[in-house]
Amino acid sequence: MKLASPKRVAVLFMLLLLTILVIAGFAAGRSSGQDRVLLNWEQKWAYPGEETAAAAPEEEWLKLSADSDRPLPPAGADAVWLRFDIPETEEYTALLIDKVYGTTLKAYRNNGLIYDSRQTVNFNGSKVLIPISDTQGDGPLYLWSTGGDRGFGVGGQIRLGHYDGLMNLYIQQDLVDVILGTSLMFMAVVLLACLFFVKIKMFSGGYWLVVVIFAFGVLFITYSPFLALIMGSREHLTESVFDVALFMLLPAFTLYFEQIFGPGRGGHLVRFRNIQLGFSVFCLLFLLLNTLLSYRLDNLYTFLTVNVTGILMIIQLLYLLGLAVVYAYRGNKDAVIFSSGFALFAVISLSELVLYFSSSSPFHLYWWKWGVVGFILSLIVILGRGFTRNYEQALSYSRELEQFNNAAQRSEKMEIISELAASVAHEVRNPLQVTRGFLQILGERSASKEKEYLNMAMQELDRASVIITDFLTFAKPGMEEVDVFEVSGELRHVAGILVPLANLQGGTIELHLQDELFVLGSPAKFKQAFINLIKNSVEALQEDGLIKVSAWKSGQHIIISVVDNGEGMKLSELARLGEPFYSNKTKGTGLGLMVSFRIIEAMNGAIHFYSKKGQGTEVVVKLPADHNK
């Protein structure tokens, strides 16, 4: 079964993630057609000691609209009263407020407390769903908001509707955070499992990527207002988990960056990483101390985890973004992808951090998570590219190993045949020569008919002697008389020998030779090798056959090409060339080509065949050039 490529897996995963986001976002935007958006309400500032707002004079109430900014509290005000007119209908059983600020929110109707958030959650731009019913009366709804160092009150959209429909909307609007968070955490766990099957060197870099992705997932879930509905009064636990994930993320992110691009010039990135790691460890210890002291150090802890950490995050994002751009400018493709995703994340995060610290009113961080999604997608692309490179490298190694095994088997076969050929040739040559001598003597004394048979016998003995000579050359292809010789002259000599044979086949031989092409070797062996090669081309010719012999210098090598327009060979035949005793001729032994292979190898050269059935064959020989001439 054919497996999907790593690139396809990465693309499919990104498409799946984007599909989830689109569906979740579409679901989050849906609401009941019977819902009503409140466009106007009234507000009154409250001061210490005020317990009720129902009897307040009308001139103290300030009329507000949904599109107006939340006004700043005057000096001395520590809370705010909000008054909403609720239509008299049984269809409206809940009020959904998009953003609530402060630490406490209470809802009253007809002087009766119907909602108290003191035991639920501290607000910082979170949504609140307040149930209402006709049993509470038909008077206006009063909200009391106080506390928090970033102000108090409400903002965003305020919607009236049925409790079940608004509850679905309340959940769906923050469900994207939960989906993203759990998806990232699941991805991190899967990646961690995969890392156990890779090399140790790759595991270290991948491990920090796992920490980064998992920490982002935890941040998504713990930052979601949806979690407040589940955790109830355990807001300190949620905040602690969020902070731990943040303290893990910051140094892990720098460590992963270091694993990809190195320690930077002068080791500056390493020093920055050590400072960041020390600060994270200090904050974790301070978190533990604050927890043991029942959160009595909250003010100092908030200063460290919000103000100092925020400034450190801005420095980190600017520093790493600058380094990523530098590496991308140097032409690293992974750096370009990393920089694009990281730039998207950094620009969005920096913008929101600047707005958070510069805004006079509470600012709810929201868009940073979409920057994270873009950055995670870029990491997935880089991961897919890495898998693809490893996959292609494994295939390359497999092909090289197969070629090496084939070469080793061929070398072993050649060695065995060489030893056998040498021993047999020496043992057989002498008896053949003696037999030929006696046949020659008998031929001189025999009648014409007998003489004809004896001549045929001597011709076969001569043919056997040639085969034995080829055996010896194959067995010992070494250059007995090594000298520097000129290639073009030897090739002209070979062509002169074979032109008559080519003419008998109805073909011609063309020479295209550069001069001053010098190589080191035996001229006799060189001519023997090319006689065999060109002779094979001649025997493959048909009508109007043509053989082109070319030679030229290319860099440090001499290239010799023999091209014919003969019958050519199939791929199966081409793959077997050079095997012992393989020949596609009827009476061929394969020794000639084997001898040519061995001579070229002895001259430290290489030989390659290119052929197609019915289109001819090309032989390319590459020999090292001699630079002493």
Give the pLDDT confidence score for residue 29 in this predicted structure.
45
Give the mean pLDDT of 107-115.
Answer: 83
Q: What does the buried/exposed string (b/e) look like for 83-102 if buried means 16 or more CB atoms within 10 Å of the residue's CB?
A: bbebeeeeebbbbbbbbbbb
Share the mean pLDDT of the chain: 75
Q: How far is CA 421 from CA 433, 472, 591, in A?
A: 18, 7, 11
Highest mean pLDDT among 106-115, 137-146, 436-445, 613-622: 613-622
Give the pLDDT confidence score for residue 5 in this predicted structure.
47
92 vs 2: which has the higher pLDDT: 92
425 vs 551: which has the higher pLDDT: 551
Give the mean pLDDT of 603-609.
Answer: 89
Give the pLDDT confidence score for residue 571 in this predicted structure.
81
Looking up tokens 């209470």 gives 106
Token pair in block for residue 47? 């001061």
> Using CA atoms in the order 353, 358, 364, 368, what is the torsion angle rounded to 10 degrees?
-20
Give 188-209 as a 3 state SS string: HHHHHHHHCCCCHHHHHHHHHH
CB 560 within 8 A of CB 620: yes
Give the mean pLDDT of 76-83.
Answer: 83
Predicted confidence (pLDDT) per residue in 459-507, tens digit: 777 767 766 665 555 555 554 567 889 999 989 988 888 888 888 888 8
Give the mean pLDDT of 211-231.
Answer: 76
* pTM for this predicted structure: 0.50
Closest CA to 245 of 228, 268, 267, 221: 221
φ/ψ of residue 123, rounded to 5: -95, 145
Give the pLDDT confidence score for residue 306 in this predicted structure.
78
Examine the pLDDT at 85 and tell me if it is beyond 70: yes
Give the pLDDT confidence score for residue 466 in this predicted structure.
66
CB 146 within 8 A of CB 89: no
41 alpha carbon, distance to own chain's centre = 54
Give the pLDDT confidence score for residue 19 in this predicted structure.
55
Token pair in block for residue 388? 């693809």
Give the pLDDT confidence score for residue 77 in this predicted structure.
82
Predicted confidence (pLDDT) per residue in 554-591, tens digit: 888 999 999 998 888 888 777 777 665 556 554 555 66
Give the pLDDT confidence score for residue 34 in this predicted structure.
65
Query: Quick one: DSSP state of residue 577?
Result: T
Give the pLDDT confidence score for residue 4 in this predicted structure.
43
In angstroms, rounded to a whole number, what is the distance separating the alpha carbons of residues 155 and 369?
21
Q: Is 75 helix (H, G, I), strand (E, B) or coil?
A: coil
Highest mean pLDDT among 4-13, 210-219, 256-265: 210-219
203 alpha carbon, distance to own chain's centre = 15
Predicted confidence (pLDDT) per residue in 24-73, tens digit: 454 444 444 567 888 888 888 888 766 565 556 667 788 887 777 777 77
Examine the pLDDT at 123 and tell me if it is beyond 70: no
Examine the pLDDT at 520 and tell me if it is beyond 80: yes
Which of 137-151, 178-192, 206-220 shows the lowest per-residue confidence on average (mean pLDDT)? Answer: 137-151
Token pair in block for residue 291? 């927890």
Give the pLDDT confidence score for residue 1 in this predicted structure.
38
Closest CA to 363 of 306, 321, 311: 306
